[in-house]
Amino acid sequence: MTLYTQTATATVLWPEPMESTWQCLASGAPTTLAPKLPHLSLADVLFIGAVTAIPRHRRPWGCITWLAEVFGLSRVSVYALGDRLQERLLGTTPPAALLMPPTEKVSPHTASVTSNRLARTVLTATFPGNVSLRPMQAIMSEAFDQQRSVGWLSQMRLQAGQRAGKKLRQIDTSPLGPLIVLRDETFFQGYPLLLVVDPVSTTILLAQVCSDRQADTWGAALLMAQERGAIIEGLVEDMARAYAKSQQLVDMEQVTVQKDPWHLQRDGSRVKLFLEKAAYQAMSQVLKLEKQLVKAWDDTLFEQHYLPATLKEEQAIAQYDTFAVWLDHLSDAFELVDWRSGEIRDPATATWLMEETRAALAKIEHPRVQDFVKTLRNHQQHLLTFLTWTAAALSDYRHALAQHLPDLAEQKRFERTVARHWRLRQALINGHNQLRVHAIQAQADLNSLIADDTTREHLATRLLQILDGTARTSSLIECINGLLKSFLNNRQCFRDQETLQAYLDLFVLWHNMRPYQRGKRRGQSPYQIAGIYPGSNDWLELLGYPAI
């Protein structure tokens, strides 16, 4: 008799040595190394510290996620626990001193409340605190015993935003060199907010509040971004109609364009869902008529209703099946790397596949499908530009690879192994956990291929950077839009366009100078990644509020 059902976690486990070591860990009492995590024993903490101490480029992909799932922690907690353990073991922070109570009573006037300290507190509560004005009053009263009016706080933040705007106009972005940039807009209080972003460093090159988003406005925005030093050689954008005309108005027609294929794929998914529902409705109608004929046969019902219904059913099912197959082929045409073989797609192959897909879809006689084909045809020339950019970037790389690996077969094997690892890693980042087994194997294949060869490791890193830098979609700028909206939505309103622009400038300066706390950009700010030094690494000090 089965008393309970035992379920296994879907996470793939490494057979050795990591999985074997974890299974041998003994439970025990909580350790002072992790006082806030009583479910972890000393052996657990030491094991977590050992795994996090593995250099990032040597650590198997997915280790930190696996640790987080096994020990019931977040990824941030795993990293923090590893850092804390290294500090204790290396002796950089004496643990005994941390546990000792203060020998003297701390005076309430030890920290002087200066105007700079008040300003830094207000601005930190704004970014990244996202604190509105009235709660900020309570913070000032509790922290510094200072009473400040809403008007004072608002004026102080407005002045800081105006300073931020002046600083942003003075910062030279030319160290970024030639750029492929993202552009998009979002809205607040009816004002369009135009954004231009570098996708590699995530630096916001321009954020402007405008009265409209017409072609001439967008053209002026591109010129403003270039006046600050950006050299725009490519644009990644959605399918807004004003974009093409904006380039014509400012003589930037030579700038190549990549249309975001996500919008086209989204529209295709909606058409597919509509065809699926139509097919089910047709099937339901046939079943309904069959039930009536089974109860009482009627030649008129059979000839005038049942037979046309079956023809409609066959047509609806055929339309859905055909569209679904070719929509998958269209998505495959937008792939940069084939995850099965690791082949980096060339523009000619992807163009041929898209042409075949468009021709096949055009044969489906359905108004929604025909509208989809029209959209595909109108934007087809700008949907695969990213492959042309990648091919140009790979030219010098393949020359360097040939110098180290003269054999052509070895070159192809090395390139495809690295590219397949990159593609499967991106799949896991995007939540496709069904590919985790393949990702782990791809990581192992890459480690085996490098085999402590520093030149091969350098070549692999260089190829990964090229693939990471490929601008195909505008999803990054959508993430920045979402971050900005999380701050804007906490504000009730702005007095006018100028105050909104000051707040936006303050956000841009904070974002460009904030160090990332996790991910592949961890420990660096967008300006640091871009090689831009505005005069200080502290955005508040840059605004004239040093930490004194």
**pLDDT digit string, tens, across residues 174-227:** 999 999 999 999 999 999 999 999 999 999 999 999 999 999 999 999 999 999
pLDDT of residue 12: 46
Higher-scoring residue by pLDDT: 128, 45: 128
pLDDT in tens, 275-321: 999 999 999 999 999 999 999 999 999 999 999 999 999 999 999 99
| CA of residue 343 relative to chain centroid, distance | 23
- Cβ count within 10 A of residue 290: 13
Q: How confident is the model at residue 519 (pLDDT cuts 50, 70, 90)?
A: confident
The mean per-residue pLDDT over the stretch 85-97 comes to 64
How much of the chain, in percent, has pLDDT values that exceed 90?
76
pLDDT of residue 167: 97
pLDDT in tens, 239-253: 999 999 999 999 999
Domain boundaries, the chain: 18-97, 167-260+473-542, 261-383, 401-468
Q: Look at residue 8 and tell me whether its pLDDT is greater than 50.
A: no
Using alpha carbons, list the distances in angstroms from residue 8 to 12, 13, 21, 279, 468: 10, 11, 19, 38, 34
Q: How confident is the model at residue 35 (pLDDT cuts 50, 70, 90)?
A: confident
Torsion of CA 240, 241, 244, 246, to 10 degrees: -90
The span from the CA of 61 to the CA of 437, in Å, is 11
The span from the CA of 280 to the CA of 297, in Å, is 24
Q: How confident is the model at residue 99 (pLDDT cuts 50, 70, 90)?
A: very low
- Cβ count within 10 A of residue 512: 25
The mean per-residue pLDDT over the stretch 254-269 comes to 96
Burial of 20 (0-12, 13-18, 19+ CB in 10 A): exposed
Q: Look at residue 448 and tell me whether its pLDDT is greater than 90.
A: yes
Q: How confident is the model at residue 44 (pLDDT cuts 50, 70, 90)?
A: confident
Residue with tokens 């207000």: 122
Q: 167-260+473-542, which class in CATH?
A: alpha beta
The span from the CA of 205 to the CA of 230, in Å, is 8
pLDDT in tens, 311-364: 999 999 999 999 999 999 999 999 999 999 999 999 999 999 999 999 999 999
CA atoms within 13 A on the CB side of 386: 26
pLDDT of residue 87: 84
pLDDT in tens, 483-503: 999 999 988 789 999 999 999
- Mean pLDDT, all residues of the chain: 90
Using alpha carbons, list the distances in angstroms from residue 268 to 91, 258, 279, 432, 473: 58, 19, 16, 20, 16
